[in-house]
């Protein structure tokens, strides 16, 4: 039986996405920038489907499938999961959806991911939604979130797998245990994801949102980006 990895490394196959031609928006921003909250708002108001690369990998692992076991083994052995695998999971999720508008959250994480996504799928994003937020504000939000979780007996911490994907996961511990992890996450974002943002900015495809403001104000800025696109599609 062929696995996702087999499919990912099979050359010469035309991606099914080149036929479906989905409208893809990459959503990028540092930890605590509010991407998840705003993605939920975009889904509700503009009808996009939200795809998190990290969630797709986690779901594949939790499914107990052959592919999930393979991914888990790679992570357990400290082997970096190839970006082709994440791309194939994204491709599969897009093809299985009846929608044609997608928010891809937290991917691509670096320039290699970006180039490979476009090469493998033949899809170039409509634009990149970049939630720009100061490290001080993101740190404040994450620590505040941890305090709330601690109050109910759990601390939610950033977990980074070998494949470079991240998500929140419950973890026992003190808030102090997470401050170094949070700051390392900021460094990873700056060192890797900013190259993707700079690339698309050179193409005029970056829509920068001031994510340091309250949630409602941030969404007003988001709506200013999506409403003209939505109106044009409906015309």
For residue 206, being part of any structural domain is answered with yes
pTM: 0.78
**Confidence check: pLDDT of 226 > 60:** yes
Higher pLDDT, 180 or 55: 55
CB 49 within 8 A of CB 99: yes
User: Is residue 76 marked as binding?
Assistant: no
Tell me the per-residue pLDDT of 50-107, one tens digit each, with 9 for 90 and over.
999 889 999 999 998 888 998 899 888 877 778 899 999 999 999 999 999 999 998 9
What confidence score (pLDDT) does residue 7 get? 44
User: Is residue 35 marked as binding?
Assistant: yes
Tell me the per-residue pLDDT of 22-50, one tens digit each, with 9 for 90 and over.
999 999 998 889 999 999 999 999 999 99
What confidence score (pLDDT) does residue 166 get? 41
User: Is residue 109 marked as binding?
Assistant: yes
Name the domain count of the chain: 1
User: Is residue 69 marked as binding?
Assistant: no
User: Is residue 213 marked as binding?
Assistant: yes
For residue 27, being part of any structural domain is answered with yes
CATH number at residue 230: 3.40.50.300
User: Is residue 12 marked as binding?
Assistant: no
For residue 203, being part of any structural domain is answered with yes
> What is the side-by-side strand order in the sheet with 101-105?
49-52, 101-105, 23-29, 127-132, 206-210
What confidence score (pLDDT) does residue 147 get? 58
User: Is residue 145 marked as binding?
Assistant: yes
CA-based nearest residue to 108, from 162, 33, 164, 161:
164
For residue 140, being part of any structural domain is answered with no
For residue 216, being part of any structural domain is answered with yes
For residue 117, being part of any structural domain is answered with yes
User: Is residue 58 marked as binding?
Assistant: yes
Which range marks the domain in which residue 203 is found? 22-134+193-234
| Beta bridge partner(s), residue 82 | none
For residue 114, being part of any structural domain is answered with yes
For residue 229, being part of any structural domain is answered with yes
What confidence score (pLDDT) does residue 235 get? 64
């Amino acid at each position: 039986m062929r696995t996702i990895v087999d499919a990912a490394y099979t050359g010469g196959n035309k991606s099914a996405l080149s036929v479906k031609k989905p409208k893809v928006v990459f959503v990028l921003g540092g930890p605590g920038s509010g991407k998840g909250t705003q993605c939920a708002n975009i889904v509700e108001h503009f009808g996009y489907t939200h795809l998190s690369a990290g969630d797709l990998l986690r779901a594949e692992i939790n499914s107990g499938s052959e592919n999930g076991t393979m991914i888990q083994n790679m992570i357990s052995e400290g082997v970096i999961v190839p970006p082709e695998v994440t791309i194939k999971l994204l491709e599969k999720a897009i093809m299985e959806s009846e929608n044609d508008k997608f928010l891809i959250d937290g991917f691509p994480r670096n320039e290699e991911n970006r180039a490979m996504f476009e090469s493998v799928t033949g899809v170039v994003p409509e634009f990149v939604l970049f939630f720009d937020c100061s490290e001080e504000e993101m740190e404040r939000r994450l620590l505040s979130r941890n305090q709330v979780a601690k109050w109910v007996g759990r601390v939610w911490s950033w977990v980074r797998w070998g494949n470079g994907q991240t998500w929140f996961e419950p973890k026992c511990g003190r808030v102090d245990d997470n401050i170094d992890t949070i700051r390392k996450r900021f460094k990873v974002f700056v060192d890797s994801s900013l190259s993707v943002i700079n690339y698309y900015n050179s193409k005029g495809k970056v829509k920068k949102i001031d994510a340091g403001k309250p949630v409602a104000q941030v969404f007003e800025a988001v709506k200013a980006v999506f409403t003209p696109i939505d109106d044009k599609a409906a015309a």
